[in-house]
């Protein structure tokens, strides 16, 4: 009888100890889900303001779309790792695929577009840019050419010069989009956040290029919205 009591007691103790760990893992995943919702809102804003947003024809040419929501002004001043965001890349069917999480850091790019915080949007325009994105980290402009993206309904002939860039970048502050230089920024996969979201260790290439995992339910709305924004004719 004593052995049975001890056995039941150990089970009860394990049950009391386990939930905090489970909740901790869930909270980690919740952070990534929140980031996806914020990123989706940025894309919706770009779609709802065609005359002052990112040109649709550039979105349709992009191989990958990256969004770093709510970057604080103070983060530029402090420096270091200041931005956390998410990328999604196009599959063979033209649709955007499952997301992978990234960080961005480096020197200040200035805050000339106003406001105390901003959303940073990156379009990866060619296969060379995608290759750089999949490295452990890469320095924008040092390893992949970049340019401040144009704003408006369409990218006119005057912006052709910018199309040679592997990366086009914008910032959105106070509801307005503006092209912004991200020269010198370092972008790298956020392995910890991606593992928290998928529940296992998985590389950015497996997610973004090979599409070896399905789009999780928590990411479907973001992926569908981004696919719609970047759809090809």
Structural domain for 188, as ranges: 40-229
* Residue 33 is assigned to a structural domain of this protein: no
| Alpha carbon distance 118, 55 (integer Å) | 19
| 144 pLDDT more than 60 | yes
| pLDDT tens figures, 149-163 | 878 766 554 455 455
| 167 pLDDT more than 60 | yes
| pLDDT tens figures, 27-56 | 667 899 999 999 999 999 888 876 778 888
* Residue 27 is assigned to a structural domain of this protein: no
* Residue 163 is assigned to a structural domain of this protein: yes
pLDDT of residue 208: 97
* Residue 93 is assigned to a structural domain of this protein: yes
Number of domains the chain is built from: 1
| Alpha carbon distance 56, 120 (integer Å) | 17
C-alpha radius of gyration, the chain, whole number: 20
- Helix residue ranges, H only, the chain: 2-48, 56-61, 73-78, 127-133, 191-198, 204-208, 220-229
Confidence (pTM): 0.82
Region 127-132: what's the mean pLDDT? 90
Q: Is 157 exposed, middle or buried (CB count within 10 Å of its CB: 0-12, 13-18, 19+)?
A: exposed
Going by pLDDT thresholds of 50, 70 and 90, the confidence category of residue 72 is low
* Residue 192 is assigned to a structural domain of this protein: yes
| 199 pLDDT more than 60 | yes
């Amino acid at each position: 009888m004593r052995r049975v009591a001890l056995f039941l007691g150990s089970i009860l103790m394990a049950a009391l100890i386990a939930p905090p760990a489970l909740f901790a893992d869930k909270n980690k995943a919740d952070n990534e889900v929140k980031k996806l919702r914020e990123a989706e809102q940025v894309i919706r804003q770009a779609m709802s303001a065609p005359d002052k947003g990112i040109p649709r024809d550039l979105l349709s040419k992009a191989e990958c779309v990256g969004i770093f929501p709510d970057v604080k002004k103070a983060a530029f001043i402090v420096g270091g790792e200041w931005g956390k965001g998410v990328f999604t890349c196009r599959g063979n069917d033209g649709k955007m695929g499952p997301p992978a999480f990234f960080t961005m850091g480096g020197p200040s790019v200035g805050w000339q577009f106003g406001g105390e915080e901003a959303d940073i949007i990156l379009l990866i325009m060619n296969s060379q840019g995608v290759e750089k994105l999949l490295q452990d980290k890469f320095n924008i402009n040092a390893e992949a050419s970049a340019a401040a993206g144009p704003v408006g309904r369409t990218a006119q002939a005057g912006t052709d010069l910018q199309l040679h860039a592997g990366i086009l970048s914008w910032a959105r502050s106070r509801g307005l989009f503006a092209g912004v230089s991200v020269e010198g920024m370092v972008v790298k996969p956020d392995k910890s956040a991606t593992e928290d979201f998928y529940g296992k260790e998985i590389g950015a290439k497996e997610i973004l290029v090979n599409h070896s995992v399905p789009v999780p339910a928590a990411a479907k709305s973001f992926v569908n919205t981004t696919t719609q924004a970047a759809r090809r004719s």
